[in-house]
Structure 1
Amino acid sequence: MSRLAFRAAAAAVGVVLLAVYLTAALFVADLLRAVWAARPDLPVLLALLVAGALGSTFLSYRLGTAQILANLEGDRVPRECAPDLHRRIDALAARMDLPRPELYVTDARAPNAFAVGGGADGGALVIDRSLFRLLSPREVEAILAHELAHLEGNDGFAIAMADGVGRSLVGIATVAALPALLALSGLAGASAWIRGRPGDRSGPFARLHRALAGGLFAGFVLATLVSRSRSRKREFAADDRAAEVTGDPIALARALHRIERAAEPTWPFAPLSTQKRTEDAAERWLSTHPSTDERVERLREKSESRGPTRRIPAGPSRSAAQKGRSLR
């Protein structure tokens, strides 16, 4: 094919591409215009958008919570199987004026404990069985207090709502910008074909498209960062509340340190594991939890400000091991 014929064919492709994209952009714009014309009054519209965002987030949170418990590879622990553990939870819940949560014990790949749900239904505590071998009774109690603090603050719900509302706002902005994105994409592609350089995306329309798409992505990232920052603050708040309720910040500090060490992989490809410590700022900003070192240091400072405390033996006691075996 001669160069002239190629340029003519490329120009024809560019015109067709432009027509397709502009048609799609006009269709979406007309659809959005029709929706906007049929909108209610602005206060009502804002109320509907807020209600829709909150409602969908709430439904997603409730369904997600139920799915976590349904898919949990563990057992609900009745009181007669672990009476001492239940008494500890009862005492902590009473001090924090909380409804009594359900207790589940699971066999996970790493030592862990987490709280699910909350509010009037009390939620649930999920504890990995290995914690009873790894931690002393006081340290187990500190971890329980930390997770109960999350239930007390209804942290899971609050963080899910903040994250859901942020994502909904970015989604609305993306829908509003969709006609412009389609038009700019068509103009960028068509201009490249007409110039005889189909793969070239250095023109002004391509730069405008990247700028608009980048702005929307930045909004998504910002919403995620705000949600993750809130999550890390709630971890600190739960640490403080657990130290206040148990009166033993060092027990929680030791428990966090033991759990982190036990969770560190020892296999040859450990540097590639997600459990490794990182100095990367972006990873820290996107993390839902602050670093264990930072949490431990805060707890040590809190202990020092309270004055000397009685030292608890570092190793798990026989009663703790027996409790762990009784839940098998």
Structure 2
Amino acid sequence: MSRLAFRAAAAVVGVALLAVYLAAAAFVADALLFLWATRPDLPVLLALLAVVAVGSAYLSYWIGTAQVLASLEGDRLPRERAPDLHHRIDALAARMAVDRPALYVTDARAPNAFAVGGGSGGGALVMDRSLFRILSAREVEAIVAHELAHLETNDGLALAMADGIGRAVVGFTTVLALPALLALSGLAAASAWIRGRPGDRSGPFAWLHRALTNGLFAGFVLATLLARSRSRKREFAADDRAAEVTGDPIALARALRRIERAAEPSWPFTPLSTYKRTENPAERWLSTHPSIEERVERLRRRAAAQESTRRIPIGPSRGGRRR
């Protein structure tokens, strides 16, 4: 095929692609305009969007909670099999604003404990059996208090709602930007074909398409980072609450260290280990938990502050007057 014939054929393909993409963009734009024209009043519309976002996040959370409990490779632990542990949970729940959760014991690949549910249902506390081998009774109590602190403030639901609402906002924005994305994609492809360079995406339309796509992706990343940041803050708050309730911050610090060491692979080249320590800032920002080092250091400072407070004498100073 001669170069002139190729350019002519490429131009025809480019025009056809442009027509298809623009037709798709026009169809989506018309659909959005129709929905906008039939919308209720703006306050009602905003309320409906909020209900959809909150409702979908709430439904996703409870479905996820049910799936987690259904997929557990373990059993509910009856009181007669672990009376001391149940007594400790009862005592902690009584001191905290939380209903007594159901206790499950499971066999996981690494020592772990987590709480799901919450609210008036009480939720569930899930503990791996290995925790009872590597932790002392005081350390187990500290871990239980940490998880009950999550149930006390219903952290799981709050975090799921924040994450779900953020993703819903990004999703709505993406739908609104879809006509522009389709039009720019068609213009970029058509321009490349008409220039005789089908694979070239260096033109201005391609650049605009990438800029808009990257902006939407940045919004998704920002929503994720905000949710993960809140999750890390709630971990610190749960540590503080556990230390307050048990009065023993060092027990929780020791428990975290023991869990960290037990989760570390004994063979340094283990490829699928669930334990991973990283100094990569991006991975730390995306993590749902702060590092063990940060948590242990905060608990040690709290213990030191408690110890110094105990040593301060209480009473009137020598030069003071009684009133």
TM over 0.5: yes
2:237 equivalent to 1:207? no
Map of 2:176 onto structure 1: 176
Q: 1:274 Cα deviation (Å)? A: 5.3
**Contact conserved, 1:270 with 1:276, CA < 8 A, in 2?**
no
Which residues of 2 match residues 286-297 of structure 1 at below 5 A?
286-297=286-297
Q: 1:264 Cα deviation (Å)? A: 1.1
**Contact conserved, 2:102 with 2:122, CA < 8 A, in 1?**
yes
Q: Take 2:208 and 2:226, find their aligned partners in 1: how far apart are those partners?
A: 27
- Percent of counterpart pairs with the same letter? 80
Map of 2:305 onto structure 1: 305
Map of 2:57 onto structure 1: 57
Scaled by the length of structure 1, the TM-score of the pair is 0.92
Map of 2:255 onto structure 1: 255
* 1:133-168 superposed Cα distances (whole Å, 9 cap, x missing partner): 000000000000000000001000000000000000
2:155 equivalent to 1:161? no
Aligned AA for 1:197?
A: R
Q: Take 2:8 and 2:238, find their aligned partners in 1: how far apart are those partners?
A: 68
Map of 2:108 onto structure 1: 108
Q: Take 1:285 and 1:271, find their aligned partners in 2: how far apart are those partners?
A: 23
Q: Take 1:7 and 1:273, find their aligned partners in 2: how far apart are those partners?
A: 55
Aligned AA for 1:237?
A: A
Q: Take 2:67 and 2:301, find their aligned partners in 1: how far apart are those partners?
A: 39
Instruction: Determine which structure has greater relative contact order: mean sequence separation of CA pairs < 8 Å that are 6+ residues apart, divided by chain length.
Output: 1
Q: Take 1:164 and 1:272, find their aligned partners in 2: how far apart are those partners?
A: 29
Return closer, same or farther for 1:280/1:271 CA change in 2, 3 Å cut-off. Answer: farther
Q: Take 2:97 and 2:289, find their aligned partners in 1: how far apart are those partners?
A: 26
2:276 equivalent to 1:276? yes
Q: Secondary structure at the match of 1:32?
A: helix
Q: Take 1:134 and 1:182, find their aligned partners in 2: how far apart are those partners?
A: 57
Structure 1, unaligned runs of 5 or more: 310-328
Which residues of 2 match residues 118-133 of structure 1 at below 5 A?
118-133=118-133
* 1:82-111 superposed Cα distances (whole Å, 9 cap, x missing partner): 101000000000010321100000000000
Q: 1:272 Cα deviation (Å)? A: 7.2
Aligned AA for 2:70?
A: A
Return closer, same or farther for 1:200/1:275 CA change in 2, 3 Å cut-off. Answer: same
2:184 equivalent to 1:218? no
Map of 1:79 onto structure 2: 79
Return closer, same or farther for 1:261/1:199 CA change in 2, 3 Å cut-off. Answer: same
Q: 1:263 Cα deviation (Å)? A: 0.5
Q: 1:269 Cα deviation (Å)? A: 2.5
**Contact conserved, 2:263 with 2:274, CA < 8 A, in 1?**
no
Map of 1:95 onto structure 2: 95
How many pairs align? Answer: 309
Map of 1:15 onto structure 2: 15
* 1:200-258 superposed Cα distances (whole Å, 9 cap, x missing partner): 10000000000000000000000000000000000000000000000000000000011
**Contact conserved, 2:22 with 2:182, CA < 8 A, in 1?**
yes
Q: Take 1:76 and 1:250, find their aligned partners in 2: how far apart are those partners?
A: 29
Q: Take 1:186 and 1:220, find their aligned partners in 2: how far apart are those partners?
A: 24
Aligned AA for 1:30?
A: D
**Contact conserved, 2:93 with 2:100, CA < 8 A, in 1?**
yes
Q: Take 1:308 and 1:249, find their aligned partners in 2: how far apart are those partners?
A: 14
Q: Secondary structure at the match of 1:307?
A: helix
* 1:40-74 superposed Cα distances (whole Å, 9 cap, x missing partner): 00000000000111111111111111111111111
Q: 1:277 Cα deviation (Å)? A: 1.1
Map of 1:326 onto structure 2: none
Map of 1:194 onto structure 2: 194
Q: 1:273 Cα deviation (Å)? A: 4.6
Q: 1:268 Cα deviation (Å)? A: 4.5
Q: Secondary structure at the match of 2:108?
A: coil
Q: 1:297 Cα deviation (Å)? A: 0.3
Structure 2, unaligned runs of 5 or more: 310-323
**Contact conserved, 1:14 with 1:192, CA < 8 A, in 2?**
yes
Map of 1:48 onto structure 2: 48
**Contact conserved, 2:110 with 2:274, CA < 8 A, in 1?**
no
Map of 1:319 onto structure 2: none
Q: Take 1:113 and 1:67, find their aligned partners in 2: how far apart are those partners?
A: 17
